[in-house]
Homo-oligomer: A and B are copies of this chain.
Amino acid sequence: MGSINTGPQSDSGFAGLKTNAKRLNDSLQYSCQWGATNDGGMHRLACDDQDRLVREWFIAETTKCGCSHKIDAMGNIFAIRPGENNNIPPIGLGSHLDTQPTGGRYDGILGVLCAMEVLRVIHEANVTTYAPIAVVNWTNEEGAIFPPAMLGSGVWAGQFTLEHGHSRKSIEGKTMAKELERIGYLGSTPCSSQENPLSAHFEVHIEQGTILDRAEKAVGIVTGAQTVRWFRLTLTGRAEHTGGTPMDNRSDALLAAAKVIVEVNKTAIEHGARATVSTAKSSPQSMNTIAGTVELSLDLRAPTDQEMDELEQSLKHAFDAINAEHGTSLAMDVVWDSKATHFDSEMVECVRQSAKEIGCSHEMTSFIGHDSVYTSKVVPTAMIFARCKDGISHNPAEYTRPEEYAQNLARS
């Protein structure tokens, strides 16, 4: 990871520029015609026909701002406006246009549209930037039908091979590569931060949490992303008759699982972390047979890798005690392990100074993965969070105030 080359252009060169909140919001709402649902939400899955249409619009709009386009082998689109020094890799401003199956109008979309607004302002003002600027639409950030999430940025940043990216399958058995080809976005540019580099990556994203909304602040300074570790837990006890088996002679896998769930919540709070068991499946599914096995998911999030390890250790001790009490056994398999990310300090300082001018100083780490988590592995990266009404996200009710999200850009 090198340091960002901001070039000799001083801050004062852009001092008079202002983003247009109305244009940004109109444009965002316009772009949501592709995939809009009746409840005000969005259903625009990576590589579906709505995704194809919004990509066409994105290319047309950025072309109006003097951009040429590179489409890479994962369908990531780089809309590049030349600068003074076109031998320097572009400064990237990116996010994603795909959504959850029952998603909202801001997650990802806000980041791409904010980047487009910055581009429009610069283009209108006839500014030639020191380095080129690339507005990036990353493919399949949501991973909704082609898991995992952040696939396009992940391949670009070398976190997954291209072959892995291409071979991801939907439940219906369609591959990512085939679907990219079908919509015309299996591009010829290598999907690689080495062969198609950026100098930096900025991303505006809806917070998907309540910190800014509770503080009534428009933006937050994201200093990095927390560590995330996912497990699949399988508890095994003894399936027996609910009527015939005395209370003191049971090995009830669901009772043990319940204690695991309670313990996960308690321990996470004690550690200042976040931990959730969100899925439970007991077997056999018979009302009068004590559960013999129960499968749980476990989602842990902590600010640092060390805190994650401590949290995991505390939980393991607690689980051992539960097993000892109930005669159960517990298998704990890691499904995903994402280390903590620390964004580039110089880039974070840019965001910090800009935020200060609009009275915002909340610094936060993201509990959620974003394209920027992967770009930060290979180029200086920073993120700006936008206030999220009531913290609701991955839901049609997702909302951020237009007058506030324009502020994200005032100093971008």
Contact = CB atoms under 8 A, between A and B. Distances in A.
Interface of A: 207-211, 226, 228, 230, 239-249, 252, 254-255, 257-262, 265, 268-269, 274, 276-282, 285-291, 294, 297, 299, 301, 335, 366-369, 388, 391-395
A243 B210 contact: no
A242 B228 CA distance: 11
Contact of A278 (B254, B276, B299, B301): B254
Contacts of A211: 246
Contact of A286 (B246, B262, B279): B279
A243 B208 contact: yes
Contact of A274 (B243, B255, B268): B243
Contact of A391 (B245, B254, B367, B395): B245
Given A244-B207, A255-B265, A281-B280, A297 B301 contact: no
Contacts of A268: 247
Contacts of A281: 280-282, 285
A291 B297 CA distance: 11
Contacts of A242: 274, 276, 278, 299, 301
A254 B261 contact: yes
A367 B245 CA distance: 9
Nearest to A249: B210
Given A278-B290, A282-B278, A394 B241 contact: yes
Contacts of A290: 276, 278
28 contacts: A207-B244, A208-B241, A209-B243, A226-B243, A240-B393, A241-B368, A242-B274, A243-B301, A243-B366, A243-B369, A244-B367, A246-B274, A252-B276, A254-B280, A255-B277, A257-B258, A258-B260, A259-B262, A262-B262, A278-B286, A278-B290, A279-B286, A280-B280, A280-B281, A280-B282, A281-B285, A287-B299, A289-B394
Contacts of A395: 239-240
A49 to B, nearest CB: 25
A212 to B, nearest CB: 11
Contact of A291 (B208, B209, B241, B278): B278
* In the complex, the 10 A-B pairs of residues with the closest C-beta atoms, listed nearest first: A258-B261, A208-B244, A243-B367, A258-B258, A243-B368, A209-B244, A242-B276, A287-B297, A242-B299, A280-B280
A210 B268 CA distance: 39
A281 to B, nearest CB: 7
A243 B228 contact: yes
A294 B244 CA distance: 26
Nearest to A239: B395
A135 to B, nearest CB: 25
A92 B277 CA distance: 53
B269 A262 contact: no
A220 B176 CA distance: 66
A395 B290 CA distance: 13
**Residue of A211, A228, A254 ringed by the most chain B CB atoms within 10 A:** A254
Contacts of A239: 395
A251 to B, nearest CB: 12
A215 to B, nearest CB: 12
- A247, A269, A368 — which one has the most chain B CB atoms within 10 A of its CB? A247
Given A209-B243, A262-B262, A281-B282, 14 more contacts: A209-B241, A209-B246, A210-B246, A239-B395, A240-B392, A240-B394, A246-B274, A246-B391, A247-B268, A276-B290, A278-B287, A280-B280, A281-B285, A287-B299
